[in-house]
Chain A
Amino acid sequence: MAEGTLSWERVEVEREVETVARPSLSYWQDAWIRLRANRRALISLYLVIALMAFTVLGPFVWTVDPAAQDLDQISVPPGADRVATVVDDYRPWDGATATPIEGDGGELAAPGAVEIADQATTNAVRLYWDPVAGAGGYRVYRNKYDPEPDGALGLPIGEILSPANVSFEDRLDLKAETYFYSVVALDGAGREAVGYTTVTADVTRVITAAEALDKGLIEDISDVAPGDTVKMAFHPLGTDYLGRDLLARLMHGARVSLFIGIVAPFLFVIIGILYGSAAGFMGGRTDQVLMRFADFVVALPFLLFMILLRILFNVESGDSGVGPMLVAMVMLSWPAAARLVRGQILQIREEGYIGASRLLGAKTNYLILRHMIPNTMGVILVTLTFAVPSAIFTEAFLSFIGMGVAPPTPSWGSMCNEGLKTMLTTPHELIAPAAFISITVLAFNLLGDGLRDALDARMRATE
């Protein structure tokens, strides 16, 4: 055996094993990375941010008054033609008179010729015709379609009860299109003759200089002369049934919808956290009593409660119902959040690190604030994001049934209600607010989904 000296050498510990290759991540940083990886959630987040900008900054960019009525452009869809010719002011028309011709008692003929006086404009279409022998009066019809071949004359637009008057002025909801006017003679008892005479009128869109000035389309009344054209006010998303700008109404309506949608969940989640953590931490009999009370609140019917609150707040039908709506939602929606938080707290209370912390002398306040609340934060945030769309939807529903905002204040729900009535003829009035509600609710839901995945590792969806 070879003689030698034993030399003990200190083995170099590879310190690198213990070095962390990447910087340590906090809970929130980790969550943010996870959220960013979720494209659906990220797009939703951008949508929510865009929506906030639309609501808050929108009215500064698009400064149209949401209550102003542009009666020349009622229910126009987006992108409608808006060139109008300037004409002189509207003056009442005396019409045309004729000496009544005695009839021979036989069948009444159709009027010989129906003419259009002046120019057919959206202000007025003026018709006059040759008297019919034996007529006691006339009825004037207007159609958008040719009455031939089956003689569907269209809308009975006017009735003249005297044989001496052989003219009619149509001012009813004239649009810039072609109309077919038909005149039929009536006998003494008001019965209609068979024959009719039709004339076609190509109506041009017009505006008077005074109206143009009034609407701010021109700077000065001398800027335009009759015959010039001006462009009517621009409505990017069209107008509603009273000629109000839809874009402006959507922006202002979003204020109400998002105010309720964000403030109400925020308030009731805070109440829920306080209530739930108190119940969960104290446990025992207190917990039982508190949670049974929460069960009782859950059982209260929301709509009934809302109506009672309106009475309590003395809300008349002309006042805004947003205040009572907020109160009712906060008063009735907190138990869900309270239950969740209580469940979490009950679970966390028994965890080992809580016991350790307690052994090290932690006080109750420290335990709750340092350990319990932060550990329930994920659940709370998720609850909050899911509560937002449901609150927006509740607001829309209540405004839809007329318990929300008072006119002329718009809200998305009340806009849907108004748009619904003209769904078949002018669908854009319903589609715009309905699309906004749908997109908002979907964005918040997807964001909530993404947040849940990001914040609570155990709850991650397996995809």
Chain B
Amino acid sequence: MTEIADTPSPDVPGGAAGTGLDIRSLGQLLYMGAIGFGALALLLWALAQWNEGGAGEAVDAVTGTITLSLFGEPPQLDSTRGTDAVSFNILGHTMEGLLRYDADNRLVGGVAERWQIDDAKATFWLRPDARWSNGEPITAHDFVFAWRKVLDPLNASEYAFILYGLKNAEAVNRGEMPLESVAVFALDDRTLEVHLERPVPYFDKLVAFATYNPINQAFYESREGRYAADADDLLFNGPFTIASWVHGASIRLEKNERYWDADRIRLNAIDYAYFTTDSNAIINLFKDGKTALAGLVAENLDDALQRRWRIKRFSDGAVFFMEFNHREDRLTRNYHLRKAIQVVNDSPELVYRVIKLPGNLPGASLFPVWLKGVDGYFRQEYPLADPPPDDDLGRRHLATAIDELDLDGPPTLVMLVGDSPTAKKQAEYYQNVYKQKLGIDIKIDAQIFKQRLAKMTAGDFDIVMAGWGPDYDDPMTFADLFASWNENNRGRYSNAELDEAVDIARSSSDPATRMDAMAKVQQILYDDAVIVVNYERGSVYVSHPRLKGVVRRAVGTDPDYTGAWID
């Protein structure tokens, strides 16, 4: 708003003559101004330099250091309570469980030297040379302590369910039994025995998951509730230690000389010098030679081609789908309404025209293509018929649904989505698809991750765009998602037939029986239109030409720099 003065401004002739300022003082003023300006510029320059301090080149062969960007501050480095990808990534570099995945994604011994698993129990023999970063040996008691902590109701671990294969674990987690009744025993310092609630054919894959990591009890208690709050409040047993952690700004990992397999580690330090989720910022850091690895998004593919970067791809294993709300009071409980939405869905169009990023695959089944079945790939052994979209069939289903639900016309549905640009773009695409093909109005409810999760849990949606990434390398990590007892079944779908198939799949020790049951789950999810699968997520990325041996994978630490080296 422009201020308007009450009195007219006097007409002052221009020039310095009338102002009483003589030439000499004007020159002095200019001189002082120039000095001041120069000093200010120098100060700002110095500040800018100082700010960029810590971060070096993308790869530094002399010191064996690589510099990277991270999606953000790891929210929870306490392995019993961590749930997010950033924390699991740091934990994957600094901690080690009983087993781990090698560069070819095979399970190999971590802290455990040998192991034996049968239907009733699992036994792990620990390495004598496995040590904590303070020099103390890792004992079976460290595992017993950590696993009890996970199941302690007071700890409120969101991943407690992943230990439910242990005898009494679920009851303990519900507070119905004392902590000591969890059937995990340290027979001696180097032998760990686990009694299983039911046969868990994939227990070896489970213990590679971060929630199964050991914790040194004496150290944990000495921190008095500050465990994992800072670099000094953690004890490491993995390939790297956290050397410095500037909260909200950077994390520096350095090689752990006390790691039992330290010879395997060829990098001396990993410097996560930048925290950002902005894909353009990540690319620019890579472009400027400040970081050694960067993921690409559809918008900068052309630029990447022009710069003749060597582009690599990988699948992060996650599946994205639209989940319906099956609660009593929801329209989407109606089978025909869901079916109408399912049969007009055109996943290839979404992937090839809208997402436009190589690596993504059009989805049909909750079970992604990389999962192993009995002998080969699960999806090749149990293919799921996925007919092309049929708009007429969709309209017929919708007409039936409108009839059954006694509606006046196509309903308005609320679609809950994340707040990322990609999520919003997909939501707008679907909004148009369902408007054009079925006349259904979609209201897009874009929320930040935490809020979306809260709304999903509360059932405050008709359709939610959700995704699920694998925790362990077995189709089971997907299969039980829509069992009626699963907390992550946000739409509260409940089907006795599906529950039964899940039970067979998770407890049978015969691979063929298990996979048959999984295939049944796959078929029910499709036939009953429980969800509409959109795509299997993949990604493309570029890395520094001298950085070798980085492993990208769907299950386990990703990206994994433990075996990386500078060429």
Q: Interface on A for B, CB 8 Å cutoff?
A: 67-69, 71, 74, 92, 143-145, 150, 152-159, 161-162, 171-173, 189, 241-242, 316-319, 336, 340, 343, 347, 379, 382-383, 386-387, 390, 402, 406-408, 421-422, 424-425, 452, 456, 458-459, 462
Contacts and interface: CB of A to CB of B under 8 A. Distances in A.
Contacts of A157: 358
Contact of A241 (B349, B425, B443): B425
A421 B421 contact: yes
Contacts of B446: 317-318, 402
B301 A407 contact: no
Nearest to A417: B421
Interface in B276-309: 298-303, 305-306, 308-309
Contacts of A317: 444-447
Given A161-B377, A386-B1, A318 B445 contact: yes
B366 to A, nearest CB: 20
A317 B6 CA distance: 46
Given A156-B358, A156-B359, A408-B432, 7 more contacts: A155-B305, A155-B358, A318-B443, A336-B1, A424-B303, A425-B300, A425-B303
Given A242-B354, A242-B432, A408-B431, A155 B540 contact: yes
B428 A144 contact: no
A143 B304 CA distance: 10
Given A172-B352, A172-B356, A387 B1 contact: yes
- Which of A155, A159, A171, A347 has the largest count of B CB atoms less than 10 A from its CB? A155
A162 B369 CA distance: 12
11 contacts: A143-B305, A144-B305, A156-B358, A156-B540, A171-B352, A316-B414, A318-B415, A347-B6, A406-B444, A456-B4, A459-B8
B506 to A, nearest CB: 27
B332 to A, nearest CB: 16
Nearest to B308: A152
- Which of B1, B104, B359, B540 has the largest count of A CB atoms less than 10 A from its CB? B1
A241 B6 CA distance: 52
A32 B112 CA distance: 91
Given A156-B358, A407-B431, A144 B302 contact: yes
Nearest to B279: A421
Contacts of A68: 432, 436
Interface of B: 1-2, 4, 6, 8, 11, 104, 298-303, 305-306, 308-313, 348-349, 351-354, 356, 358-359, 377, 380, 388, 414-415, 421, 424-425, 427-429, 431-432, 435-436, 443-447, 540
A462 B13 CA distance: 11
The 6 closest A-B pairs by CB, nearest first: A318-B443, A152-B308, A156-B313, A173-B356, A318-B445, A171-B352
Contacts of B431: 407-408
Nearest to A457: B8
A461 to B, nearest CB: 10
B8 A458 contact: yes
B179 to A, nearest CB: 42
A159 B538 CA distance: 11
Given A156-B540, A317-B445, A421-B299, A459 B305 contact: no
B424 A407 contact: yes
* Interface of chain A: mostly helix, strand, loop or mixed: loop
Given A143-B305, A242-B432, A382 B447 contact: no
A65 B306 CA distance: 36
B358 A145 contact: no
A96 to B, nearest CB: 17
Contacts of B427: 407
B353 A71 contact: yes
B399 to A, nearest CB: 21
A13 to B, nearest CB: 38
B3 to A, nearest CB: 9
A68 B312 CA distance: 35
Contacts of A402: 446
A309 B250 CA distance: 38
B2 A386 contact: yes
Nearest to A340: B4
Contacts of A241: 425
Contacts of A390: 1
A459 B3 CA distance: 11
A69 B310 CA distance: 33
Given A155-B311, A157-B358, A317-B444, A459 B4 contact: yes
Nearest to B1: A336
A452 B354 CA distance: 50
B327 to A, nearest CB: 18
A173 B429 CA distance: 15
Contacts of B298: 173
A452 B427 CA distance: 47
Contacts of A172: 351-352, 356, 358
Contact of A145 (B306, B377, B436): B306
B5 to A, nearest CB: 8
Contacts of B4: 340, 379, 382, 452, 456, 459
A173 B353 contact: yes
Nearest to A241: B425
Contacts of A387: 1
A408 B421 CA distance: 14
A408 B443 CA distance: 9
- Which of A154, A158, A340 has the largest count of B CB atoms less than 10 A from its CB? A154
B444 A407 contact: yes
A386 B427 CA distance: 38
